[in-house]
Amino acid sequence: MAKNLCMLAALLAVCAPAPGWAAPKIDRGNGSFFNKPGATAELATREMDSCRKLARGAESQINTIDVLAGGLAAVFGGALADGEQKRINTENCMLIRGWNLYAMTREEGRAWKAMPETERSAQLAVLVGADKPTRGSLLRTWHNDYAEPALWQKN
1-12 pLDDT per residue, tens: 444 434 433 333
Q: Which helix (H) or strand (E) holds 101?
A: strand 100-103
Residue 75 has pLDDT above 60, yes or no: no
Question: In the prediction, which pLDDT does 12 show?
Answer: 37
Question: In the prediction, which pLDDT does 153 show?
Answer: 60
Domain boundaries along the sequence of the chain? 28-139
Contact 73, 66 (CB under 8 A): yes
